[in-house]
Amino acid sequence: MTTRVAIYARHSTDKQTHSTKDQIARCEAYCQNAGYEISLVFQDEAISGSSVVNRPGVSELIDAALCGYFDRVITEDLSRISRDQADMANFFRKMRYLDIGLESVSEGVINELHIGFKGTMNALYIVDLADKTRRGMIASVLKGAIPGGRTYGYDLVHRLDERQELIKGLRQINPKQASVVQQIYDQYAAGATLNYICEGLNRQGVPAPKGGRWVNTTLIGHAARKTGLLRQSLYKGVVTFNRMMYRKNPETGKRQSFIRPESDWIQVPVPELAIIAEDLFDKVQTQVEERSSLHKQRILLNQVLAAPDKPANVQKRKRQAEKRTTKSRKVSLYIFSGKLWCEDHNTPISVIRKRVYSCNSKPCQHRNIQHEVFMSAALDALHHMSVDQIKLAIDELRAVRNKLETKITKLDARLEEARQNIRGILDGLKSRKMTPETNAYLDEQEAQVLKIKYEIDTLKKQYDPISKIPDEEAEDVLQSFNKAIAPLFEEPDNQLASSQTYHWFDRFMVKSEGKKMVISIDYNWPKMLVALRAVKSAPFLSRPAVILPRRSCLAGHL
């Protein structure tokens, strides 16, 4: 039987224009000599071998392997699939699980030894290549080449060396752009704001470095990375290199940048490319740091000292939500809708069809129960509300409220003390430059303030629902409660009474006692006690004298 194979080829850069075709041709010749039948060919163009993530060719190969389109994978070299040890081992395990062999032109049939030894060599190659590339770039800078792409104020110079090869990284000053750079530095040193400078350049019709309009970030850049025209050391005749290092995220395969410590940065003088005098450049750097410190102080004041006002869009969303809840419901609402819970199995009791409910666990006595049965048991539980039950709930809520008030008062005092500390530091600094130690201390104080604010907000969320608990006697509360639920005894499905009292109950716990169904109610006491204030002024409706007996309802159901 002829062995069906899939060929995989990959090359790393666009410069290797014929690499993939050469690999495929070599693999085809290998398959012809071995008597293999080529079923499919997969390839990845100009993609690094450091990871298999985001490689469409490898993904398509694995999908085809799962469908059984071939029996063996052929590649020129094991490193074509991946140079990462973990990726290579994972790929090998997948192929072995699918009973698909792996073979390369260079190594032959691949086994565990190849994965171990060759995988280690390929991983070391990646590390060594990155180190050599970095050393080569540093050597180029030391010889006078300028790394990176275009820099505003300079033009690229195309020149050949003695071997007629292009010399990379050569620059020369662009007089027109250099005059703009000089204007920016002069204005900033004179005290002009970033907005003023950008607006002036835009009025003059001067195009920004990337075209379009000038904005503040073009001038000031990123503080940690020392970017932006006002921080570009090349303008004073010094090229700064080796600021960034790059690593690939093992999960996504994407390259991410990290800032190296300033001690690792390399600076090489190139006085022939200086546009700004050194003393003016240093003066501007001092002003940039001072203004940045003042800006940070203002941010601290706004974050720490300002009152925590809710944004307008939050209020708008709240109003919209309230408006939606006031709309008429399309389905009937009952006092226990979505709140029935089987106490025997600790699972919900759900609607299985119109006005019929079942416990989600099998077997259970609470299955295929009619709506009227649950309603009768729920009303019977409401009927047993007592003065002692209300009194106990009110006493517990008042005790919790008093504890929360004490905690919030203490935290408010701590917050004010922390704010006073920050005010004192900022008043003492005024316009002086903030040292790293001062920044670190302010960061600690800011974190402390934010932590206290978070604790206060958390406590207030617990305090607000119980802050308006009425100071009424339990007897008055019970009387108001009876007023509110009286319509339910006259008409159990009364939609108005159900919607008004629905939020007073958290859960209706259903359990079986022999052939009896008993419901106990978990009340939402804060919402109920506050709502009962409005009920107190309404005319009293007496409780019906006769309630449908629960026992007769349950007959034939349980």
Using alpha carbons, select from 112, 421, 439 the residue that is nearest to residue 299: 439
Burial bucket for residue 91 (CB in 10 Å: 0-12, 13-18, 19+): buried
Using alpha carbons, select from 40, 86, 46 the residue that is nearest to residue 63: 40
* Superfamily (CATH) of domain 4-130: Resolvase, N-terminal catalytic domain (3.40.50.1390)
What integer pLDDT is reported at residue 540 of this predicted model? Answer: 41
Which pairing describes strands 340-342 and 505-513: parallel, antiparallel, or unpaired? parallel
What integer pLDDT is reported at residue 555 of this predicted model? Answer: 34
- CA–CA separation, 385 vs 387, rounded Å? 7
DSSP 120-152: HHHHHHHHHHHHHHHHHHHHHHHTTPPPSS--T
Q: What are the per-10-residue average pLDDT scores of the chain (558 residues)?
A: 87 62 90 91 74 76 88 88 80 88 88 73 65 64 64 80 68 89 92 90 89 87 78 84 66 66 74 88 86 61 52 65 58 85 87 87 83 88 85 85 89 87 76 70 79 85 76 78 87 86 89 82 86 60 37 35
What is the rounded radius of gyration, in angstroms, for the C-alpha atoms of the chain? Answer: 38
Burial bucket for residue 29 (CB in 10 Å: 0-12, 13-18, 19+): exposed
Region of 459 on the Ramachandran plot (φ > 0 left; ψ -120 to 50 alpha; else beta): alpha
What integer pLDDT is reported at residue 550 of this predicted model? Answer: 36
Neighbours of 197 (CB within 10 A): 22
Domain 154-288 = CATH 3.90.1750: yes
Residue corresponding to tokens 């500390």: 421
Using alpha carbons, select from 437, 436, 441 the residue that is nearest to residue 422: 441
* b/e burial code for range 332-370 (CB count within 10 A of at least 16 → b): eebbbeebbbbbebeeebeeeeeeebbbeeeebbbbebe
| Strand (E) or helix (H) holding 512 | strand 505-513
Using alpha carbons, select from 482, 489, 481, 492 the residue that is nearest to residue 334: 492
What is the biggest distance separating any 2 CA atoms in the chain, rounded to whole angstroms?
Answer: 113
Q: What are phi and psi of 362, to 5 degrees?
A: -125, 140
> Where are the domains positioned within the chain?
4-130, 154-288, 340-387+471-554
What integer pLDDT is reported at residue 4 of this predicted model? Answer: 92
Q: What are phi and psi of 246, to 5 degrees?
A: -130, 140
| Strand (E) or helix (H) holding 192 | none
What integer pLDDT is reported at residue 549 of this predicted model? Answer: 36
- CA–CA separation, 11 vs 17, rounded Å? 9
For residue 24, what are the CA distances in angstroms to 50, 142, 556? 21, 41, 78
Decide if 52 contacts 58 (C-beta within 8 A): yes
What integer pLDDT is reported at residue 169 of this predicted model? Answer: 66
Using alpha carbons, select from 286, 284, 297 the residue that is nearest to residue 439: 297
- CA–CA separation, 10 vs 23, rounded Å? 8
Tokens for 33?
A: 């000599």
